[in-house]
Amino acid sequence: MADEDIEAGGGGGGKKKLIIIIVAALLLLGGGAGAFLFLMGGDSGGNDDIVIEEEAEPVNLQAIYVTLPQPFVFNVTGDSQQRLVQVKVQLMVRGDSNETLAKQNLPLVEHSLLTTFGAATVEQLRTPQGQVEIRKQAADTVQAAMEKVTGKTVVERVLFTGFVMQ
């Protein structure tokens, strides 16, 4: 009989401890999630204002895509052999005036892109992250070249619409 009371009391105490631990864990998780949302909610509101201010002018203008007349074909080195790469490119510009400037300066744009593509390696072009990196470098190179000639960056993004590596 005494053994049954001890077991019943010990089992009930164990259940109570388990319930207390579960409730405490849920409170900690809920409090942590609430604090995270509170802190991130305040930060994202500030960042949204900054992004809206930075993008206020370009968003008002329509995005126009300028297709380059022919794909870029070039060799890259890296592993034991050379690889042949073909890239079809479009330029994203905002507004009719930037479209006109991009079309007028296509030889400069093509030269800038060839310079960037010529510096690429097989390892960079093999991975999606490397391709994103090359697109960003291409956009930076084209924007810098266009700014020297026209005084404006003109091109917002460089997009790969076709990519083949053999």
pTM of the model: 0.60
Provide the CATH number for the domain around residue 112. 3.30.479
For position 59, what pLDDT does the model report?
A: 55
73/155 same-domain check: yes
For position 126, what pLDDT does the model report?
A: 87
Per-residue pLDDT of the chain (166 residues; tens, 9 = 90+): 444 444 444 556 788 888 888 877 777 666 666 666 566 654 444 444 433 344 434 457 889 999 999 999 988 887 777 889 999 999 999 999 999 999 999 999 999 999 999 888 888 888 889 999 999 999 999 999 999 999 998 999 999 999 998 8
Range of the domain at 42: 1-60
For position 68, what pLDDT does the model report?
A: 92
106/130 same-domain check: yes
Tell me how many domains the chain contains. Answer: 2
Pairing of strands 63-67, 83-94: antiparallel
**What is the four-CA torsion angle of 99, 101, 104, 107, rounded to 10 degrees?**
-100
C-alpha angle 116/117/118, rounded to 5°? 90
75/39 same-domain check: no
Last residue of a domain, one of 60, 77, 108: 60
Backbone dihedral angles phi then psi of residue 84, each to the nearest 5 degrees: -100, 130
- The rounded distance, in Å, linking the Cα atoms of 97 and 142 is 17
Helix (H) or strand (E) segment spanning residue 65: strand 63-67
